A and B are shown apart, each in its own frame.
Chain A
Amino acid sequence: QVQLQESGPGLVKPSETLSLTCTVSGGSINTYYWSWIRQPPGKGLEWIGYISYTGSTKYNPSLKSRVSISVDTSKNQFSLQLSSVTAADTAFYYCARQVGSQWMPYYSDCWGQGTLVTVSS
């Protein structure tokens, strides 16, 4: 049974970089797509982007200039970096596994519990 767990600071100052890591246990990160999705408290879901098992990435254009997703296969982890954060980036951040084809990801069948990141000085 694959499990995902997010980790990282719960408080980030404005203009700084938000960094989160997702640790995958119970399965290999060398398959599937691995994504980040966020949810401001009390609001809806926003897809941030993904990294594939081949290392290819794709990001939401609304965040593209500020976001980076990377993978460390030796640790079975993937990471999110979001730069120049503002209060609007305050949200629950979820990592998720996405089933997909060799060309694109499909649905998210396994999610981490989520971690709240607050942007505040």
Chain B
Amino acid sequence: DIVMTQSPDSLAVSLGERATINCRASQSVLHSSNNRNYLGWYQQKAGQPPKLLIYWASTRESGVPDRFSGSGSGTDFTLTINSLQAEDVAVYYCQQYYDTPQTFGQGTKVEVK
């Protein structure tokens, strides 16, 4: 299985500041046939199902605010939340879909400082 490791486990950021979450895969999730990174990011608010934010490592899902951005390639990826809003308090997960079983990171909890 591809192991996904996120860092940090939690972080507290002041409103309006930037939050950065890292995700590392135990092997590359970059597919050579199409040069795409098979990596997604999800946001899960308390009591709700996960919501897709980013796919192909950097493509924002329709309706997702542009303060959310994804970057990285191969094994190292980053989710950045620019200008944190109160409604961004949640747990964020990365997921690889390069291979089955699809696997998730352990989650990063984002809180307001």
Contacts and interface: CB of A to CB of B under 8 A. Distances in A.
Given A44-B106, A106-B55, A108-B52, A62 B101 contact: yes
Interface centre among A62, A106, A109, A114 (most CB of B within 10 A): A106
B38 to A, nearest CB: 7
B42 to A, nearest CB: 8
A26 interface: no
Nearest 4 CB-CB pairings of A with B: A111-B49, A107-B40, A60-B101, A47-B102
A44 B40 CA distance: 15
B55 A113 contact: no
A44 B107 contact: yes
Interface in A43-71: 44-47, 49, 58, 60-62
Q: Determine the interface band of chain A, counting residues with CB < 8 A from chain B.
A: 20 to 34
Interface in B38-53: 38, 40, 42, 48-52
Tell me the dominant secondary structure on chain B's binding face.
Answer: loop
A14 interface: no
B103 interface: yes
Nearest to B106: A44
B22 interface: no
Nearest to B48: A113
Given A45-B93, A94-B49, A113-B49, A107 B101 contact: no
A114 B49 contact: yes
B101 A106 contact: no
B27 to A, nearest CB: 17
Given A44-B106, A45-B93, A60-B101, A107 B55 contact: yes
B104 A46 contact: yes
A104 B29 CA distance: 14
